[in-house]
Structure 1
Amino acid sequence: MVPVSNFNRSWTSASGNGAASNPQVRARGAENLLRRLEWTVIRRLDGLLHGDYRTLFRGFGLDLADLREYQYHDDVRYIDWNVTARLRTPYVRVYNEDREVTAWFLLDLSPSVDFGAHVKKRSMATEFLAVLARVLTRHGNRVGALFYGNRVDTVIPARTGRRHALHILHRALSRAEGAGFGETDLRDFLQTAFGVMQRRSLVFVISDFISAPGWARPLAHLAQRHEVIAVRLYDPLEMELPDLGLLAMRDAETGQQLYVDTHDRAFRRRFAQLAERREKELRSAFGQAGVDALELSTGDDLVDAILRFADLRKRRSQLAAGGGLPAHLRGSHDVSMA
C-alpha cells in the first residue's frame, strides 16, 4: 500500500490513454455537439426557466438609473448606505441592465481534467461552456475564452453570434488530451485573465481547482472587478474510492505512477478524510473570494446542475433581502425573512 501524501492531484488508471480525434472529426463534432445541446439541454432550460436566465447572470452590466425606498424582496446588495444614513430610511439603487453583456470562459484544460470513471471532467467542462456560450450569444451578448494547459496558451477575443460560440467550442475540442505533464498553477491563469479582461464582465472559471496553492487571492482580486462564478469539476471517485483491489494509478499532473490497495479500509477511510478536508478548503476559498460555486460532477445531468445553481442564487438573494440589513434598520422598517 502506498499512502497518498498530497491529495491535490487527480490519479487516473495507468492503462487509460485517451487519443485525440482527427481534425475533420473534431470539426464535425463541434457542430454536432452544439446542435445536440441546443435540442437536449438549452430547450429544456428554456422551458424550466421560462427563458429567464437572470438568476444565473445577475450582478453585471448595470447602469445606475435612480434611487428609491427599500421594498420587500429587494436585493440588499443595492442598498445605498450613504443615502440610508442621511434619510434614516433604507434606499436602494435602481439599475438598468446594459443591452450587451460580455462573458468570459476561463477553461482549465490541464491534465487532471482528463480524469473520469465514466464521463471525463473535460467533457462536462466543454458541454457547460457550449451551453452557456450559446445561451448568451443568441441574445446578442459577447463571449470570449481563455484556455489553460500548463500555461495560458489560447485567448479568444469576445464576439457574438452562434458561429463564434461554435468557434470557441471547436477550439476547446481540438485540444489533445494528456498533452504532457506539469504542475497546474491557477494563480498564473487568473492573473493573466485579469490583465486581458478590462471591461466588467461575467466570468466563468471552469476548473477542478487541482492546482499549486496561491490561487485564492487572484480569484478574489478578479471578483472585485467582475461577476465571477466558479464552476468546480469533480468525479465521484475523487470523493470516495470503491473497493477494487490493487490498482495501478498515474498522477495526471506529473506522470508519477504508484500502486494503491483499495481493499484496505484504512486507506479508503484516509482517502475520504483527505477529500473532505479539500472540500472544506475549497468552500472556504470560494467564500472568502466572494464568488458563487457551481459544483459540476461527471455524474450530473447538466440541466439539473444548472437549475440547482440558479435556485441557489435565487434563494441567496431572497435571504439577503430579509437578513442583510443592520438590526436597527430591520426592526424599524419591516424587513423580514423571505
Structure 2
Amino acid sequence: MAGAPDRLLLRLEWQVVRRLDGRVLGAYRTPYRGSGLDFAGLRGYVETDDARRIDWNATARLNEPQVRQFTEDRELTLWLVLDRTASMTVGAPGRGKHDVLAELALVLARLFGRGGNRVGAVLHDGATTRVVPPGTGRGQVLRIGHELARTATAPPKAGTTDVAAMLGTAARLARRRSLIIVISDFIGTAGWDRPLLRLAHRHEVVALRVVDAADDALPEVGLVLVEDAETGEQLLVDSGDPLLRARLRDAVAEREADLAGRMRRAGVPLHRIDTDRDLLPALAGVAASTRWRRT
C-alpha cells in the first residue's frame, strides 16, 4: 500500500501539477545562464565578444587577445527551505499551515525535479535541522515527502522560529548559485535582515508566507484562553473587548509592514499563501513574478 507521501504526491500531480505544468514553468529563464560556472577553454577574441571575458594573462603570453569560454549551465538547483516549527501547526485539521507547506513543497519539487534539475530541502523545526541533499526525479520528491511526514508526526519543539538560522543553513548548503524558496509564516525572532541580504546577493530567493486566518484575527467568542504556539505562554482574554481587537489589528498591520519592508530591502519577492485558498493561482502568481518563469 502506498504511504501517505505517495498518496499526497499522486493527488497533487492530478489536482495541481498537471494544471501548472507547461502553463507557467516549462522552459524557464534563470539569471545565471550563459556565463556558466565551468571553464571550457580559450579562443581568439572577435569584435562581437564581451571585453569583460578577455583573459589578460593568456593575452600577454600569446600576444593576441584571448577570451575565456565556459560550458553553459542550463541546469537549475532548487533549495526548499521549510519552516516546521510550532507556529506552523496552526490551522484547521488537514488544512493547517504545515499541511499547506507540505503541498507547496511537493508541487515545487515535482515541477523542478525534472530535465536534469536538482532539488534539495532544508527542514527546520526550531531545535534540529534535517537536510535532503539535492537530487532529481520523482523519487527525490518522495524523499522530501517522507521527511515532511516525519517532522509532521514529531511533537513540535518549544521555542520561536529562528529565521536567521534557516537562512544561514541554506547559504552554507547552496554552494553554487541556486533558486532558493523559503516557505514559512515568518513568525519568529528578529535579526535576520543581514542573512537574507547575503543570501539574496548570491542566489535568487523567493519567500512564500503561509498565513492562516487565526494569525490575523481573533473570533468573538467571549473569554478565551490563547496560547503562543511557539513559547507555550497562555493568557486569558476577552475576545470581544474593542480595545484588545484594535490593538490586535494594529499589531498585525505593523507585522505585515515590517515583513514587507525587510523583503523589499533585500530584493526578495514575497508571496502570501492563504491556507483556505486554492494553491493553483497562488503558484501561478509566484511563477509570473520571478525570473524562473517560462520564456
Taking structure 1 as the reference length, the TM-score comes to: 0.71
Alignment of 1:3-18 (within 5 A): none
Counterpart of 1:303 in structure 2 is 280
Match of 1:162 in 2: 138
- For 1:45, the equivalent position in structure 2 comes to 20
Q: Is the CA contact (8 Å cut-off) linking 1:152 and 1:189 kept in structure 2?
A: no
Write the distance in 1 (CA, Å) between the matches of 2:279 and 2:71: 31
Q: 1:59 aligns with which of 30, 49, 55?
A: 30
- Distance in 1 (CA, whole Å) between partners of 2:27 and 2:249 is 36
1:103 to 78, 94, 107: 78
Report the equivalent of 2:121: 145
Flag as ranges the 4+ runs of structure 1 deviating above 6 A.
65-68
Match of 1:210 in 2: 187
The answer on whether the counterparts of 1:117 and 1:237 sit within 8 Å (CA) in structure 2 is: no
Residues 215, 250 of structure 1: alpha-carbon distance in 2 compared, 3 angstrom cutoff: same
Q: Secondary structure at the match of 2:3?
A: helix
Q: Is the 8 A contact 2:209 2:270 kept in 1?
A: yes
Which letter maps to 2:18? R
How far the C-alpha of 1:271 sits from its partner, in A, is: 0.5
**Distance in 2 (alpha carbons) for counterparts of 1:137 and 1:154:** 19
Give the root-mean-square deviation of aligned CA atoms.
2.6
Correspondent of 1:247 among 209, 212, 224:
224
Deviations, residues 228-253 of structure 1 (Å, cap 9, x unaligned):
00111111221222312221121111
Residue 286 of structure 1 aligns with which residue? 263
Q: Which of residues 249, 252, 273 is equivalent to 1:275?
A: 252
Unaligned segments of structure 2, at least 5 residues: 37-45, 53-69
Q: Does the aligned pair in 1 maintain the 2:79–2:170 contact within 8 Å? A: no
Give the percent of matched residue pairs that are identical in Structure 1 and Structure 2: 40
CA distance in 1, matches of 2:186, 2:202: 21
Structure 2 residue 206 is the aligned partner of structure 1 residue 229 = yes
Q: How many residues align?
A: 262
SS of the aligned residue for 1:266 comes to helix
Partner of 2:60: none
Structure 2 length-normalised TM: 0.81
Match of 2:233 in 1: 256
How far, CA to CA, are the matches of 2:242 and 2:155 in structure 1? 31
Q: Which runs of 5+ in 1 are unaligned?
A: 1-23, 69-79, 83-94, 315-338
Amino acid at match of 2:156: A
Rate the CA distance shift 1:67–1:205 in 2: closer, same or farther, 3 A. farther
